[in-house]
Amino acid sequence: MKIITVVLLSVLAILALTLAIPLRGQTQSPADKTTPTVEFKVSKGGADKTVLLRVLAAVSKLENKEKKDVITLSVASVIDDKNFLCHKMKKSYHTIADSSARVGGGGGSAGYVTESVDYSTMVWLTTNQPHKVADDELLTDIGVIESDNIKKRGGSSYRQLIEAPENETSAFTKEQFIAALKEGKTWRLEKFGTKDCENCFGKGHADALRKYAKCLICDGTGKITVDYLVKW
Ligand SMILES: [Zn+2]
């Protein structure tokens, strides 16, 4: 009798695990599921310079977009009308744990965002335009560029953030690209390339028997889009 109970419990445990795996998969974003990723290793890019140049152009675009960060800062101390010591504001996401989360139909993912002063960081902000603010006031939606400059004041050091010009168009050079890659940086270029559909082996139709039925995975094109993961 004991043996039967153990066997039964094991079967139940396996069943529970099998059911749990697809549920866990649902936390992935749809992009992870539908677009496969191919690795593009620049160190082995070799002969195909056309693709490499396209990759560099796409990465450069991403870098220039990322460079400018729009943030809100809380002024800790005014140095002059263009220089401020500030705390960054941090966004926190709060999930609603009670039954009202389910009303929204989001599967318990309902919540709200709050902003609070992050007292663990203090930065030196230099702006292009003068701002008339007092201590503890907010500088909202400032487009900034992270710099490596360290500013010193009263025996303390602060990282300098510089307000970005309205049209920030500086290019990401090939040298910066290679240097960043060698430091281990990677970029994901969404839907950057195509490859043969694995469902129909690039033929576009479902199978030999239903020759004229379109392959549903590639919609009959024989190709599917892929993300490029650019790395050294
Ligand atoms: Zn197909």
Calpha distance 167→70 (Å, rounded): 13
196 CA to middle of ligand 1, Å? 8
Ligand 1 centroid to Cα of residue 224, in Å, is 8
pLDDT band, very low/low/confident/very high, at 94 (cuts 50, 70, 90): confident
* Identity of the highest mean pLDDT range in 32-41, 65-74, 114-123, 167-176: 114-123
pLDDT at 63: 80
Q: Is the pLDDT of residue 26 over 70?
A: no
pLDDT at 110: 61
pLDDT score for 96: 67
- Residue 53 and residue 188: Cα distance in Å, rounded? 16
Q: What is the pLDDT of residue 199?
A: 87
pLDDT digits (tens, 9 = 90+) for 142-155: 888 888 889 999 99
Domain ranges in the chain are: 34-231
The confidence score (pLDDT) of residue 107 equals 45
Interaxial angle between packed helices 49-67 and 174-182, expressed in degrees from 0 to 180 and rounded to the nearest 10: 90
Expressed in angstroms and rounded, the spacing between residue 198 Cα and the centre of ligand 1 is: 6
Distance 187 CA to ligand 1 centre (A): 27
State both tokens at 62. 């991403």
Distance 214 CA to ligand 1 centre (A): 8
- Give the per-residue pLDDT at 130: 92
Give residues with Cβ within 8 angstroms of 148, minimum separation 6: 159
Distance 203 CA to ligand 1 centre (A): 7
The edge-to-edge listing of strands for the beta sheet with 37-41 is 37-41, 223-231, 187-196
- Residue 144 makes CB contacts below 8 A (sequence gap 6+) with 68, 69, 70, 71, 125, 161, 162, 163, 164
**Mean per-residue pLDDT for 68-76?**
87
Taking the C-alpha atoms of residue 227 and residue 204, their distance in angstroms, rounded to an integer, is 21
CA–centroid distance, 37 to ligand 1, in Å, is 17
CA of 30 to the centre of ligand 1 (A): 19
Of the candidate ranges 63-67, 81-85, 107-111, 129-133, the one whose mean pLDDT is the lowest: 107-111
Question: By mean pLDDT, which of 12-16, 70-74, 118-122 is the weakest?
Answer: 12-16
Instruction: Measure 31 CA to ligand 1 centroid, in angstroms.
Output: 18
In angstroms, rounded to a whole number, what is the distance separating the alpha carbons of residues 126 and 80?
10
